C-alpha cells in the first residue's frame, strides 16, 4: 500500500528538480529571459571574421541575445568555440504590437532591412564564412523575410514589402543553416516546417511568392511550430503562452544537432522530406503496403491452385 505514495513522492521530487532546473535556465518558459546575464554566452558576441557566424534575431521585447542565447552557445561550442564561432545581435527594436497598431510591422520591417545589411556587410568582410541565422517569434519572421522576401498584413498592420537574398550568390549563398521558432508570418506545411503546428494557420501567412523564395533554403532550414502556439498556429484561440515559450527547453539538443550537422555537411539532405512524406501520407504508405501483401497472397494462392490443377490432370 506504500508503493503509490513512494511513486507519488518520487514524481513530486522529480518535478521539483525539473522546476528548479527550469528556473536556472536562461532559455526557459518565462517571458523575460536572462541569457544576457551569462558571461559565457556574452563572451561569444563578435563581428570579427570567423568560420561560423550566427546572426541572432531575438523575439519581441527580448533583451539581446534573448532565449536563443543558450543554443547559440551550445552550437558555437560544438563548432570549435570562441575564435571559430560567435554571434551578432540583429539590430532592431523588437517592439510589441500593443504600443500602437503599426508598431509591430515597423519593427519587423526595420529588422528585415537591418538584418540583410548586417549579413551583407559581414560576408563582404569575411567571404568564406558560414552564416547561421536563428530567429524567434518576431525574429523568426524576420529571418524568413531576409531569406525569402517579406511584408504584408500581420496583426493590425501592413508590413512594407522587401525582397530576400538571392540563394545562388553571396551573401545568400553563405547561409549554411537557419532555424526559426514560432514565426509570426509562416508558410503552412512547408517541407522544412517541423512539429505539431506545421500545418496550422498562424497570425499571418506568407504569400506564394515569399514561400517560393524560401524553397531554395529548404535543405538548410527548419521552421519549428508547436500546435497551440497562438503565434504560429491556432490563431484566434485563447493565448496560452507556454506553447510559444518552450522551444528551447523542448528541442535544444535537436536544434543544436541540426545546425551543427547541417553546417558541417553531416546531415543527409533528403532525410526530412522523406519523413514528412511517410507521416503526411501514412494512408498512402499503408495502401502500398496492403497492396503488396495482397498481390503476394494472390500469387501464392494462384501458384498453389495451378499446382493442384497440374496434379489433377
Ligand atoms: C542550456 O541548455 C542546456 C541543455 O538544454 C541546459 O542544461 C542548461 O541549463 C541551459 N543553460 C542555461 C544557462 O540556460
Ligand atoms: C500592404 O502594402 C502593400 C505595399 O507595401 C500593398 O501592395 C498591399 O496591398 C497592402 N495590403 C493590405 C492588406 O493593405
Q: Which helix (H) or strand (E) holds 98?
A: none
| Coil, helix or strand at residue 191 | coil
Query: In the chain, at which residue ranges do the beta strands (DSSP E only) sit?
Result: 52-57, 85-89, 130-136, 150-154, 157-162, 175-181, 185-186, 193-194, 204-205, 221-224
Query: In 42-190, at which residue ranges do the beta strands (DSSP E only) sit?
Result: 52-57, 85-89, 130-136, 150-154, 157-162, 175-181, 185-186
CA-nearest residue, atom 10 of ligand 1: 25
CA-nearest residue, atom 6 of ligand 2: 152
Question: Does residue 96 have its Cβ closer than 6 Å to ligand 1?
Answer: no
Q: Which is the closest atom of ligand 2 to the Cα of 151?
A: 5
Q: Which is the closest atom of ligand 2 to the Cα of 152?
A: 1
CA-nearest residue, atom 9 of ligand 2: 152
Q: Given this model, what pLDDT does residue 5 score?
A: 47
Q: Are 136 and 55 in contact (CB under 8 A)?
A: no
The residue among 69, 63, 57 whose CA lies nearest residue 108 is 57
| pLDDT (tens place) for every residue of the chain, 313 residues total | 444 444 444 444 444 444 545 557 899 887 666 799 999 999 999 999 999 999 999 999 999 999 999 999 999 999 999 999 999 999 999 999 999 999 999 999 999 999 999 999 999 999 999 999 999 999 999 999 999 999 999 999 999 999 999 999 999 999 999 999 999 999 999 999 999 999 999 999 999 999 999 999 999 999 999 999 999 997 666 667 889 999 999 999 999 999 999 999 986 554 444 445 555 555 555 666 677 778 888 788 777 767 776 655 4
Q: Are 52 and 84 in contact (CB under 8 A)?
A: yes
Q: Are 53 and 90 in contact (CB under 8 A)?
A: no
Question: Does residue 158 have its Cβ closer than 6 Å to ligand 2?
Answer: yes
In whole angstroms, give the CA distance from residue 126 to residue 293.
57
Query: In 184-233, at which residue ranges do the beta strands (DSSP E only) sit?
Result: 185-186, 193-194, 204-205, 221-224
User: Which ligand has the nearest atom to the CA of 105?
Assistant: 2
The residue among 313, 227, 220, 223 whose CA lies nearest residue 269 is 220
Pocket test for ligand 2, best of 104, 105, 106, 152 (most atoms within 8 A of CB): 152
The residue among 65, 28, 69, 96 whose CA lies nearest residue 245 is 28
In whole angstroms, give the CA distance from residue 29 to residue 67.
9
Amino acid at each position: 500500500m506504500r508503493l503509490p505514495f513512494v511513486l507519488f513522492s518520487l514524481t513530486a521530487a522529480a518535478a521539483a528538480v525539473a522546476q528548479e532546473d527550469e528556473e536556472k535556465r536562461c532559455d526557459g518558459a518565462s517571458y523575460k529571459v536572462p541569457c544576457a546575464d551569462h558571461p559565457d554566452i556574452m563572451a561569444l558576441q563578435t563581428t570579427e571574421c570567423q568560420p561560423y557566424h550566427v546572426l541572432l534575431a531575438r523575439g519581441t521585447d527580448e533583451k539581446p541575445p534573448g532565449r536563443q542565447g543558450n543554443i547559440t552557445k551550445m552550437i558555437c561550442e560544438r563548432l570549435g568555440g570562441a575564435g571559430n564561432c560567435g554571434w551578432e545581435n540583429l539590430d532592431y527594436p523588437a517592439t510589441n504590437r500593443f504600443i500602437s497598431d503599426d508598431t509591430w510591422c515597423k519593427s519587423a520591417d526595420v529588422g528585415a532591412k537591418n538584418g540583410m545589411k548586417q549579413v551583407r556587410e559581414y560576408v563582404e568582410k569575411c567571404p568564406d564564412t558560414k552564416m547561421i541565422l536563428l530567429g524567434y517569434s518576431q525574429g523568426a519572421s524576420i529571418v524568413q523575410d531576409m531569406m525569402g522576401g517579406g511584408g504584408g498584413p500581420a496583426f493590425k498592420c501592413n508590413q512594407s514589402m522587401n525582397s530576400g537574398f538571392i540563394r545562388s550568390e553571396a551573401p545568400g549563398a553563405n547561409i549554411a543553416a537557419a532555424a526559426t521558432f514560432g514565426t509570426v508570418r509562416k508558410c503552412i506545411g512547408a517541407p522544412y516546417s517541423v512539429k505539431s503546428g506545421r500545418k496550422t494557420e498562424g497570425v499571418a501567412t506568407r504569400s506564394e511568392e515569399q514561400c517560393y523564395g524560401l524553397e531554395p533554403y529548404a535543405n538548410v532550414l527548419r521552421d519549428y511550430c508547436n500546435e497551440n502556439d497562438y503565434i504560429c498556429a491556432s490563431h484566434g484561440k485563447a493565448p496560452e503562452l507556454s506553447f510559444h515559450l518552450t522551444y528551447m527547453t523542448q528541442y535544444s539538443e535537436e536544434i543544436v544537432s541540426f545546425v551543427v550537422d547541417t553546417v558541417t555537411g553531416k546531415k543527409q539532405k533528403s532525410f526530412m522530406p522523406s519523413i514528412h512524406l511517410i507521416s503526411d501520407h501514412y494512408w498512402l504508405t499503408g495502401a502500398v503496403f496492403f497492396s503488396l501483401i495482397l498481390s503476394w497472397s494472390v500469387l501464392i494462392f494462384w501458384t498453389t491452385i495451378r499446382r493442384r490443377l497440374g496434379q489433377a490432370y
